[in-house]
């Protein structure tokens, strides 16, 4: 009986570990041909999974597609910033977070795969954009080795690995 209890505990622990660990994706960088803006910082915009807002009044059928919140971490794993990703219950645009140039990662919700961990490269004067909301963003005439994908084929953003390989 003790043996069966031990096996059951190990199975539950193993399954909970799978559920709690976000799927890791490749690093995302800014669009390589986007113009720079005059700034001392870089920017991050995450189109995370959509959640529906709750109507203000019980008889109001209007709902808005809000982007879910996410967290930003430094390379060592220290939590730096929580991003609500919308200003109000009617704001359908994702927030733009400002960060110093460097390497970070985010943990955010994707529409297809649940929680994902995405390394992001922030460059001064540029915006790194991450697409996780099943909106079928696809840059035109771009080789697939320059992009990061979710398992369902959705494009997440520009691959940082491709920029290193082309140097």
**Could you list the residue range(s) of the whole structural domain that residue 157 is in?**
22-165
pTM above 0.95, yes or no: no
Please give the residue that has the higher pLDDT: either 154 or 90: 154
**Which of 9-13, 125-129, 146-150, 157-161 comes out lowest in average pLDDT?**
9-13
Residue 164 confidence (pLDDT): 45
**Is the residue at 17 inside a domain?**
no
Task: Check whether 31 has a pLDDT greater than 80.
Answer: yes
DSSP string, 10-46: HHHHHHHHHHHSPEE---EE--TTPPP-S-SSEEEEE
DSSP string, 66-126: EEPPEEEEETTS-EEEEE---SSTT--SPPEEEE-SEEEEEEEEETTTEEEEEEEEE-TT-
**Is the residue at 85 inside a domain?**
yes
163 confidence band (pLDDT: 50, 70, 90): very low
CA–chain centroid gap for 15, Å, is 23
**Is the residue at 15 inside a domain?**
no
39 confidence band (pLDDT: 50, 70, 90): confident
**Is the residue at 3 inside a domain?**
no
**Is the residue at 27 inside a domain?**
yes
**Is the residue at 7 inside a domain?**
no
Contact yes or no for 160/28 (Cβ under 8 A): yes
Count the domains in the chain. 1
Residue given tokens 């004067």 in the structure block: 125
Contact yes or no for 131/109 (Cβ under 8 A): no
Contact yes or no for 155/137 (Cβ under 8 A): yes
**Is the residue at 14 inside a domain?**
no
Structure tokens, 87: 């200003």
**Is the residue at 49 inside a domain?**
yes
- What are the tens digits of pLDDT across the range 79-97? 999 999 988 877 888 999 9
52 confidence band (pLDDT: 50, 70, 90): confident
């Amino acid at each position: 009986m003790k043996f069966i209890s031990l096996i059951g505990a190990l199975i539950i622990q193993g399954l909970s570990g799978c559920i709690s660990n976000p799927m890791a994706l490749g690093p995302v960088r800014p669009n390589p041909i986007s113009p720079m803006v005059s700034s001392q910082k870089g920017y991050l915009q995450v189109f995370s999974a959509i959640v529906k807002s709750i109507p203000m009044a019980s008889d109001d059928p209007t709902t808005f597609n809000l982007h879910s919140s996410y967290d930003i971490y430094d390379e060592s794993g220290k939590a730096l910033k929580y991003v609500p990703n919308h200003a109000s219950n009617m704001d359908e645009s994702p927030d733009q977070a400002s960060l110093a140039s460097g390497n970070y990662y985010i943990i955010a919700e994707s529409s297809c795969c649940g929680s994902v961990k995405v390394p992001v490269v922030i460059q001064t004067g540029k915006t790194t954009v991450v697409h996780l909301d099943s909106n079928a963003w696809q840059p035109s005439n771009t080789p697939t080795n320059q992009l990061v994908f979710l398992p369902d084929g959705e494009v997440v953003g520009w691959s940082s690995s491709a920029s290193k390989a082309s140097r």
